[in-house]
Amino acid sequence: MSTKLEDKIAILAELFLNHSSDEDFEDFFEVNDLGLPLAYLCANGYATHSDSGVSEINSTFADLLELFEVEDTGFERLSEITELEE
Predicted confidence band of residue 84 (pLDDT cuts 50, 70, 90): low
Read off the pLDDT of residues 46-62 as tens digits, 9 standing for 90 and up.
Answer: 998 899 999 999 999 99
Render pLDDT for 27-48 as a digit per residue (tens, 0 to 9).
999 999 999 999 999 999 999 8
Separation CA 33–CA 46 (nearest Å): 17
- What's the angle, vertex CA 39, arms to CA 76 and CA 85, rounded to 5? 45
Q: What is the 3-state secondary structure (H, E, C) of the chain?
A: CCCCHHHHHHHHHHHHHHHCCCHHHHHHHHHCCCHHHHHHHHHCCCCCCCHHHHHHHHHHHHHHHHHCCCCCCCCCCHHHHCCCCC
Say if residue 85's pLDDT is above 70. Answer: no
